């Protein structure tokens, strides 16, 4: 049986210019903009060029992630305006083993401002408050230099290359593994 997830943070996680909050209907325009990036439709559950109904359905799915025991789905909001500039998640299906994965995406119009690194730093600080969680991993396409810089700016270290790890679109793709260890607990050896 999956480990129960903690409640939503009483104080929204924040770092730099970003505050993380629950995804909601006020994020509809940002979600529709995300759907204009054809790569996003190949790597997640948001369909390409989502209309209002599809974008609302995606928001509803994200809102249910914690209650389903999957993890926490956050809107990346600009700290000054409250407007969503992207999405990130802490996925906790392996919490029983002390592991999680994280992901992030920034709307095309908001890219190049360091929002993803701020969001990942806030997400990682939140992850450190989750009981029993010791490690957060990222899976990054080797060609994605911006995402690699984001991971490194947020303190994640490259651990290796997983060859032919995942199917994206109709191709098998390699993925880099970046990770951070949240709590020092030793190597696990007696």
Rounded average pLDDT over 69-76: 96
Read off the pLDDT band of 2 (50, 70, 90). Answer: low
Q: What is the pTM of this model?
A: 0.90
* Neighbouring residues of 45: CB distance < 8 A, sequence distance ≥ 6: 58, 61
Rounded average pLDDT over 153-158: 96
Q: What is the DSSP letter of 26?
A: G
Q: Tell me: the pLDDT tens digits for 15-49?
A: 999 999 999 999 999 999 999 988 887 777 788 88
């Amino acid at each position: 049986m999956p480990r129960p997830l903690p409640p939503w943070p009483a104080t929204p996680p924040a770092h730099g210019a970003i505050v993380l909050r629950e995804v909601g209907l006020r994020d509809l325009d940002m979600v529709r903009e995300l759907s204009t990036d054809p790569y996003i439709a190949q790597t997640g559950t948001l369909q390409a060029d989502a209309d209002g109904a599809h974008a609302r359905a995606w928001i509803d799915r994200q809102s249910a992630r914690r209650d389903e025991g999957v993890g926490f789905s956050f809107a990346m909001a600009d700290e000054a305006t409250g407007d969503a500039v992207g999405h990130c998640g802490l996925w906790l299906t392996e919490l029983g083993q002390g592991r999680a994965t994280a992901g992030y995406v920034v709307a095309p119009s908001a890219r190049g401002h360091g929002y993803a690194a701020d969001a990942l730093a806030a997400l990682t600080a939140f992850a450190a408050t989750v009981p029993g969680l010791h490690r957060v991993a990222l899976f990054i396409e080797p060609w994605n230099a911006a995402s690699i810089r984001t991971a490194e700016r947020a303190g994640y270290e490259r651990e290796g290359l997983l060859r032919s790890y995942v199917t994206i679109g109709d191709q098998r793709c390699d993925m880099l593994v970046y990770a951070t260890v949240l709590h020092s607990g030793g190597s696990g050896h007696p």
